[in-house]
Amino acid sequence: MKHSEIPAPEKCLLCDNKSLTNHLTLKDYFLTQEEFSIYRCPSCGFMFTWPRPETEKLPDYYKSLEYISHSNKRSDFQSRLYQLVRNYTLKKKIKLIRRFTRGNQILDIGCATGEFLNQCKKQGYHTTGIEPDKNARESAIRNYGLSVKDTPHLSELPSSEFDVITMWHVLEHVEDFKQRMETVFRLLKPDGVAFVALPNPSSHDAKHYGKFWAAWDVPRHLSHFNRESMKLLSEKTGFEIQAILPMVFDSYYVSLLSEKYMRHSTCFIRAFYRGFISNFLAGTGKKEYSSLIYVLKKVQA
């Protein structure tokens, strides 16, 4: 079926509102070059990728060595830079967690090859990982001796078990995001805290690159949350937002990839400039950084 022949979605996947706007038509520039749309709900601000690939077909869109968050096999400059920044941000993440939480039971959902959990383990946390990708999972177990299971294992974990649950750029990939947040609610202790990092479609780099913005990443990213829709999702699933914090390196990485999609060349200077401008405008304006970390606590009855 041609993209133009695919029927529009019936309602907003977050608030059920029936009047939606077609926000963008774009391609999977990363892998398949297939065309998708981003639909936007004017009522709650939620955006989502359409059509959504069937569940069985989703893994096909991840089958590439270039997906470096799942693989450390590339060795070009871009990947080395990514890994260097990752090591720095890992430590920043743990510092952030310590600021908001006590207790040492941590669950990382979508832990990929386990670098973050390994850092947590070194810092004295008792770690549990969930990762759907078999290769990434096996790598985390083999390299760091971590306990990492496939996604269905989430339903087998005991309730009120964790002080901290993290999802670093994961929720945008999850098909049933409401159910996932309900699961996070169940697994957290009453005073537990969830850290949810997401790309921000309200950022300057998103607006500047338009359909070439790399963090649309269709169809791997199924949902696109802004502050407004994330607040609604939090409320619907028993959370309140305690803080919203920036991830300042993402603007550079996202700009680099976006430049590649837009101009078919990787111009580091141009990408660096755009990343810097994005952070500068966010810092001096409404804090709409390229990616945001939502710190969520359970609403106490």
Q: Which residues contact Zn ion (rule: CB under 5 A)?
A: 12, 14-15, 17, 41, 43-44, 46
Shortest separation between residue 11's beta carbon and Zn ion, angstroms: 8
Shortest separation between residue 44's beta carbon and Zn ion, angstroms: 3
Name the residue among 9, 87, 92 with its Cα closest to residue 48: 9
Report helix, strand and coil shares of the chain as percent, to nearest 5. 40, 20, 35
CB of 21 or CB of 135, closer to Zn ion: 21
CB of 32 or CB of 43, closer to Zn ion: 43
Phi-psi region of 238 (alpha: psi -120 to 50; beta: other; left: phi over 0): left
CB of 31 or CB of 241, closer to Zn ion: 241
CB of 12 or CB of 233, closer to Zn ion: 12
Phi-psi region of 174 (alpha: psi -120 to 50; beta: other; left: phi over 0): beta
Tokens at residue 295, please?
A: 């710190």
The neighbour count for residue 54, using CB atoms within 10 Å, is: 7
Shortest separation between residue 269's beta carbon and Zn ion, angstroms: 39
CB of 39 or CB of 168, closer to Zn ion: 39
Shortest separation between residue 201's beta carbon and Zn ion, angstroms: 14
Asked whether 231 and 198 are in contact (CB, 8 A), the reply is no
SS3 state of residue 83 = helix
Distances, alpha carbon 274 to alpha carbons 89, 249, 292, in Å: 20, 12, 17
Shortest separation between residue 14's beta carbon and Zn ion, angstroms: 5
Task: Look at strands 162-168 and 291-298 and give their pairing.
Answer: unpaired
Shortest separation between residue 15's beta carbon and Zn ion, angstroms: 3
- How many angstroms separate the CA atoms of 294 and 195, rounded? 6
CB of 14 or CB of 197, closer to Zn ion: 14
